[in-house]
Structure 1
Amino acid sequence: MYTQPPRFMCFDARLVVIVLCVVGIVGSVVQTFKEEEFSMKFATAFSILFEIITLVGAVKNNVVALRISLYISLINAIFLLMTILVVPVIFASMAAAGITPTFNETQLEQELASLRNDSKQERHEHFVHGLVAGYTIEFLTAIGFACAVAKYVLINRVFVYAKAIEASSTYA
């Protein structure tokens, strides 16, 4: 039984998954060293583990590793879909209020006091800034979700191929 290797556009799907995993590992390692919060370090460590499992599965055509990666990438895509609903609203509200993402309590009190004294033109400008920030974050989050879905599809193609290779070697 002859099985064709999976393709993604004009590229070998396994190669694309391998490249994405290597880039993901490097990016996560860099992020781990740059991050100061323990919870974010934990999240990037989990990301590194996921990328390593996917890399091993793609390189060795390991069905078990690819199945685990498939489930994890599906869960990741679902979480990214939920962030599309929440994150843009938060950033738009912060931009509309004139609040920067890194603030302390004194800055927050000053920002809120200045908002009460804003003119109609300034409130309109804050609204426009919030609108632009919200749409920008929503667009970027949608791109992230699309990438997660594409990665899921790629892993699924490699998984199906690995199962076919395993089945053909069992019958041979």
Structure 2
Amino acid sequence: MARFAPAQRSPVPESPISVDVGTVEVYVVHPDPDGWRVLMLQRAADVIRPGSWEVVTGSIDAGERPEAAAARELREETGLAADRLYSVAVQPFYLPRRSSVQLSVVFAAFVDAPGAVTLSHEHARFEWLAVDHAAQRCTWPRSRRTIGDIVQLLGPDNVARVDDVLRIR
């Protein structure tokens, strides 16, 4: 009887490309009686990606946990604090200027009473939009898909099934 012998693999060569968990994305949601509202931010004219619409985004500082970075970026870019924070995904993208595949940790931050939004210098304006309109406003297609994923994952018909796993606070 022949025995199975796994093929010998060649060692993986060193790659000049790194993989880093370096950014967070925070989708800010206000559960309005007429349906969820998503906070969309328009980039200022004098920063990268001028005029584009996005959610709260930012870098994870050295030694910082992604959920702490999400709370910090939310506060810095909007002046808001999350009443409930959920981890919803990790999304990869390639950053050519750093030769790096970045892994962006994605969060949904629910704010029950949105209060006044205080924008940082990175953004020129904001809008609270219904889910469909927020998805249309997104510059990046993956952001559009993520809004739909958040609605499905954390909507009233499903949230009880995942709350104990995905809810951070």
TM score, norm. by length of structure 1: 0.24
Larger radius of gyration: 1
Q: More helix per residue: 1 or 2? A: 1
TM score, norm. by length of structure 2: 0.24
